[in-house]
Chain A
Amino acid sequence: MDEISAGFIRAIQLIITLNPEVVEITVRSLSISLTSVLIASLVDIPIGGLIEFHDFRGKRALINLIQTFYSIPTVTVGLLVYLLLSRSGPLGGMGLLFSPAGMVIGQTVLITPIMIGLTISALRGVSVQIEETALSMGATNLQVIFTIMKEARVAVVATVLLGFGRALSEVGVAMMIGGNIRGYTRVLTTAISLETSMGDLDLAMALGIILISISLVVNLALNRVQGR
């Protein structure tokens, strides 16, 4: 159990001295996950809106399917995206495997189900009366959609934060698509995995503490946003 306290001490050391490799890994973790959530937001939030605001055959089945994929194992997604990006795969020519760009693609795919699904939930959470009020005020269908989206903004922001959290703390995709290459694709989660398997439990713990701290900040932001 003193690995935990040793880990804490090591974490503080690494942070205070701004250990360059740890800083590099942390920045990379953040930038890859941030980029993923940005792309996912731009694509998935409108898709969520599209699904929610249209009635079509199989809509319920589609939403069920999306929700089923909420907790798809990250290694499975990693495997699927790997098969896609591998040189022998359909997108192999783009050379995206074992690169940060490939990891962004993988994480974007990973968080897409929850981004779409929670956007739909967020929009559903807006009372029907809002839609009617907007309509009775003379809004066009498009304006009504914007108004509902604006009403749901708190829940949508929460969705984005959740997506970011999931991307940041996943290992399966980062490992399979990135390859944990030192100085190029190594991120916090894959580094923790490596250090654990190599037996340097203090360092693994320390990196874990850093990762948890970031997640803590994200969650605080989430609470703040939802508390309004």
Chain B
Amino acid sequence: MVLIEIRGLFKSFGLSEILRGINLDVEEGRVLALIGPTGSGKTTLLRLIDLLDKPTEGNIFFNGYDICYLSSKEKLKIRRKMGMVFQKPVMFSASVYENVSYGLKVRGKGNSRLEIQRALEEVGLSGYESRDAATLSGGEMQRIALARAMVINPEVLLLDEPTANLDLRSAYAVDELIKRLANCGRTVIMASHNMTECRKLANKVAVLVDGRITRTGKPEEILTEPELYVNSISGQPFLESI
């Protein structure tokens, strides 16, 4: 069942057009991987889906409802169904516990120590509750950000390069986690550079180049095509095989 439909989405910042007519379907309970060179608009697309910004043109439908032009109260309701992890996540200047429990706090759900504990275990950072979040390494911050998004139990997970800063071991663990989350029925939209990760996790791959979706299809189909290994602009490979 299609949970999110994107139709004719355009986004410009001033004079630069980042997204030029995106059409995309996201199936419920499935993992969609967005691949493409840097600057192709992956992050912008994720932000638009999370309703952090308004498109210049076009619509996004969530469960059939047009969500881009709602009032901010209604947008908040939709946004609360989603959890986003940014590419280089920032931590609030507080303890790890307070960071992870933030989402619960703003929803007025009394935060449960147990839930936080569990979330930290899942990302492999048990016992980190009282650490000052500012002292974490990049990889640790990424995992805390993931725990933060997980703990609110979102229907949709938006992940922008979730394992980009992680070492092999942690990347593997996180990928396993994402797999588990997907298996529980969550919808995942993931921007990635990592071919192995995509092959492992994605049910569908969409290629985003220069603000347009050039190909969509199953990972086996797409990830073997040689053009993908070359960036259309700079001639550099944009997909890494790790």
Residues of A within 8 A of B (CB): 127, 129-130, 132-141, 143, 147, 150-151
* Set of chain B residues within 8 Å of A138, measured between Cβ atoms: 76, 79-80, 103, 106-107, 152
Q: Contact partner of B52 among A130, A136, A140, CB < 8 A?
A: A136
Number of interface residues of B (CB under 8 A): 23
Extra contacts, 19 of them, besides A133-B92, A138-B103, A147-B92 (Cβ < 8 A), are A127-B90, A129-B86, A132-B47, A132-B52, A135-B52, A135-B79, A136-B86, A137-B83, A137-B102, A137-B106, A138-B106, A138-B107, A139-B102, A139-B106, A140-B76, A141-B72, A150-B92, A150-B94, A151-B92
* Set of chain B residues within 8 Å of A130, measured between Cβ atoms: 90, 92
Closest 4 CB pairs of A and B: A138-B80, A136-B84, A139-B106, A137-B103
Per-residue interface assignment for chain B, residues 146 to 189, with 1 indicating a CB less than 8 Å from any chain A CB and 0 otherwise: 00110010000000000000000000000000000000000000
Residues of B within 8 A of A (CB): 47, 50, 52, 72, 76, 79-80, 82-84, 86, 89-90, 92-94, 102-103, 106-107, 148-149, 152
Cα A20 to Cα B112 in complex, Å, equals 56
Q: Contact partner of B152 among A135, A137, A143, CB < 8 A?
A: A137
Taking a contact as CB atoms under 8 Å apart, the answer to whether B90 and A136 are in contact is no
| Least CB distance, A67 to chain B, in whole angstroms | 26
Cα A135 to Cα B86 in complex, Å, equals 12
Taking a contact as CB atoms under 8 Å apart, the answer to whether B106 and A136 are in contact is no
* Set of chain A residues within 8 Å of B90, measured between Cβ atoms: 127, 129-130, 133
**Which secondary structure dominates chain A's binding surface?**
helix
Given A129-B86, A130-B90, answer yes or no on A137-B148 (Cβ-Cβ < 8 Å).
yes
Cα A130 to Cα B86 in complex, Å, equals 11
